Structure 1
Amino acid sequence: MTILFRLSSPARRVASTASALLVALCLQSGTALAQNGDNGATSPPPPFTYDQHEAAMAFADDLASRRNLDPAWVRQQIGAAQRLPAVIRLTQPAPTGTAKNWAAYRARFIEPVRLQAGLQFWQTHREALERAEREFGVPASLIVGVLGVESLYGRYTGNFRVMDTLTTLAFDFPASHPRAAARAEFFRSELEQYLSLTQRTGQDPLALRGSYAGAMGWPQFMPSSWNKYAIDFDGDSRIDLINSPADVIGSVANYFTHFGWQPGLPTHYPVAFDPATLDLDALLAPDILPTFSPEHFSAQGAMLEGPALQHNGKLALIELQNGDPANGGAPPSYLAGTENFYVVTRYNWSSYYALAVIELGQAVQALVEGR
């Protein structure tokens, strides 16, 4: 999923003015140049398509055999995919040393446009939200928060051809990425899931559009999540995460249920520190995975109060940086995350994302209730 992660349009290529010498050299090398009037401007070269990629075609044959699909159809779809340099650039990791900033990240999502859109969405689809909460135990506020962060309630679902993005990342994932091999394998699996999905539903694989990572629809489901967790919630005997808000609502609730959402359990609690006993390194070592009992949590110097003292499950200390303190940033923010906070991060492995989703949903709920 998404992850998080936001959408960006493909970079444009601007044709440069070619001198007579450049034209001659390019013609000698076999490069075709299209003249634009008398100014010598050249058109960009045709996009690379994966029918020219040996490994992609071998993958197509293997996929067809394993999935019992028509080999010619699979080859045709993968072969028609275009390599997208913009997608490769967008997948590059952030420069090392880049300080995260929770306050800035939060401000991107808890803002007037998204709040008003969330209020309208909740009011329009109140019945489906209430039914999802009854049937799955997932709060309406969490569903609303996810959809607001992921696609601004369907306004921005991505404009990349899914076939292009998945194939590009499956076979041309940037080698500079620290987990390049694993990520490329992930996208090959998603490409397989996507072709299986479109073949089963009769959709044109070259028609669907999504994010630069291949996520689709209002909830920005990857193809594997669409296949596993998407449900028909409006009763029309088909699953549509692009045009059916009810299916979208039910599918997000179903997703969280499958990852262990516990109805009634808070996602997090406030936390304070006892400087005399604080072992911050030990508390942060498990990252966002709930590991500590409340007693162990307190023994390490993380102090709970109120309802948190009655918590029976595991906790994680969540750290949210607020910029680089050495360059004017504020100190980090901290909270005690429960198993349900961890479930929210299964949508996107980021504590920043999870808290933004939670707080956006809560802010919209306050508007709905007139608070």
Structure 2
Amino acid sequence: MRFFLPTPSRTVAAVALLAACCAWSTAAVAQKSSNGRVASNAVRGTIPYATRDDAMRFADEVAERRGLDRDWVRATIGNARFLPNVPRLMLPGPVGTVKNWQTYRSRFIDPVRIAAGVRFWRANADTLARAEQVYGVPAEIIVGIIGVETIYGRNMGNFRVIDALATLSFDFPQGHPRAAEREAFFRGELESFLSTESRTADDPLTPLGSYAGAMGMPQFMPSSIAKYAVDFDGDGRIDLVNNPADVIGSVANYFKAFGWKPGMPAIYPVHFDEARLQKGLLLAPDILPTFSIDSFVAAGAVPEGEGIRHKGLLALIELQNGADAPPTYVAGTRNFYVITRYNWSSYYAMSVLDLGQEVKAAMEQ
């Protein structure tokens, strides 16, 4: 996948895409029965969004807003297809499901992923060192992210990005508690994807990614590609699928943009002063660092080691371990919060930290 290449003419591509849409429309019309309904073999999962008025209105709005070729935008969205499994994947888990940190951790920290991380680090050691120098983000954080996301490019997703984004833009599950907000988010991502693809020579129907439309080794969403992806090896293009240098630089740039503080630990061990403990107060802000070290200790949470001298704000991070074991607690700094800007989950952030540390330890053996 190539990004930010010189703008080519879109005429040939638009004509080809429109022809495909027209061919489907003709076939669909031919399949209509006497009562006007599409025949049963034209099920929703095979119908392109060219037949949807809301999708075509959105295409026209995007073309006008972004100054893009209207026929190309209509044809691109029109060739997207509804993915029936994707809306179900976006729904939250059943109410009352108890999280389990040890189970979650085991999905990402295992010998296969650690060994892959060692190979990736050794192959890209100079680039990782340069990224840390330029952006201030340690190699183990970058290695942890790429490993958790795709096992260093092994699992980058097999959904067509245009299909995933269109499905979540026009058929987001209304049973989701934040359906309107999330639908608007994915429409923004679809618009960003179209804007980026319009500046490349690639077929916009080709890119593959996750069921949410994330792409490449770091699983960037389209808007993140537009804002944070960098040409870190200076070859004149940004490639997050095949070029580890661009991947490393882009991840580091992402963290710097969200406020990563060089030299600051992401977490500290913590123990409780039971006599003063106000756990409800400490957990109320969730993962957002809110407490000074004095207010943190006053509420009964005491960071260990260097944590007791921490200068910034802290959050109490709770990681549940199922119904039969006590939770795990750590004190999270601003840098822990920055990791959650990649994926808004304390379990995710801890997995990134743990994988990075495991790979670093294996490198030193």
Q: 1:362 aligns with which of 353, 357, 363?
A: 357
Residue in structure 1 matched with residue 174 of structure 2 by the alignment: 175
Give, in angstroms, the shift of residue 46 of structure 1: 6.4
Matched, 1:351 2:346: yes
Q: Deviation string for 1:9-55 (max 9, x for gaps)?
A: xxxxxxxxxxxxxxxxx988766578xxxxxxxx9776121111111
* % identical aligned pairs: 60
Residue in structure 1 matched with residue 7 of structure 2 by the alignment: none
Give, in angstroms, the shift of residue 309 of structure 1: 1.4
1:305 and 1:47 map into 2 onto residues whose CA distance is 57
Residue in structure 1 matched with residue 137 of structure 2 by the alignment: 138
Residue in structure 1 matched with residue 113 of structure 2 by the alignment: 114
Residue in structure 2 matched with residue 37 of structure 1 by the alignment: none
Matched, 1:258 2:257: yes
2:253 and 2:44 map into 1 onto residues whose CA distance is 45
The one-letter code matched in structure 2 to 1:241 is L
Work out whether residues 302 and 308 of structure 2, in 8 Å CA contact, stay in contact via their aligned partners in 1: no
The one-letter code matched in structure 2 to 1:299 is A
Give, in angstroms, the shift of residue 205 of structure 1: 1.2
Q: Specify the SS of the correspondent of 2:199.
A: helix
Structure 1 gaps of 5+ residues are 1-25, 35-42
**Residues 1:349 and 1:33: Cα distance change in structure 2 (over 3 Å):** closer
The one-letter code matched in structure 1 to 2:348 is Y
Work out whether residues 270 and 302 of structure 2, in 8 Å CA contact, stay in contact via their aligned partners in 1: yes
Residue in structure 1 matched with residue 91 of structure 2 by the alignment: 92
**Residues 1:261 and 1:157: Cα distance change in structure 2 (over 3 Å):** same
1:238 and 1:144 map into 2 onto residues whose CA distance is 22
Structure 2 gaps of 5+ residues are 1-31
1:45 and 1:268 map into 2 onto residues whose CA distance is 48
1:207 and 1:146 map into 2 onto residues whose CA distance is 25
Give the 4+ runs in structure 1 shifted more than 2 A. 26-34, 43-46
Residue in structure 2 matched with residue 200 of structure 1 by the alignment: 199
How many equivalent pairs are there? 333
1:298 and 1:166 map into 2 onto residues whose CA distance is 45
Q: Deviation string for 1:134-186 (max 9, x for gaps)?
A: 11110000000000000000000000000000000001000000000000000
Residue in structure 1 matched with residue 6 of structure 2 by the alignment: none
Residue in structure 2 matched with residue 244 of structure 1 by the alignment: 243
2:292 and 2:339 map into 1 onto residues whose CA distance is 20
Work out whether residues 27 and 33 of structure 1, in 8 Å CA contact, stay in contact via their aligned partners in 2: no
Q: Note the 1:17-56 alignment, pairs <5 A.
A: 32=39, 47-56=46-55
**Residues 1:46 and 1:283: Cα distance change in structure 2 (over 3 Å):** closer
Q: Note the 1:244-323 alignment, pairs <5 A.
A: 244-323=243-322
Residue in structure 2 matched with residue 15 of structure 1 by the alignment: none
Q: Deviation string for 1:222-252 (max 9, x for gaps)?
A: 0000000000011111000011011000000
Residue in structure 1 matched with residue 28 of structure 2 by the alignment: none
2:231 and 2:328 map into 1 onto residues whose CA distance is 40
TM norm structure 1: 0.87
Work out whether residues 45 and 82 of structure 2, in 8 Å CA contact, stay in contact via their aligned partners in 1: no
Residue in structure 2 matched with residue 209 of structure 1 by the alignment: 208
2:153 and 2:305 map into 1 onto residues whose CA distance is 38
CA RMSD in angstroms comes to 1.6
Give, in angstroms, the shift of residue 91 of structure 1: 1.0
Work out whether residues 83 and 167 of structure 2, in 8 Å CA contact, stay in contact via their aligned partners in 1: yes
1:345 and 1:45 map into 2 onto residues whose CA distance is 36
1:27 and 1:261 map into 2 onto residues whose CA distance is 61
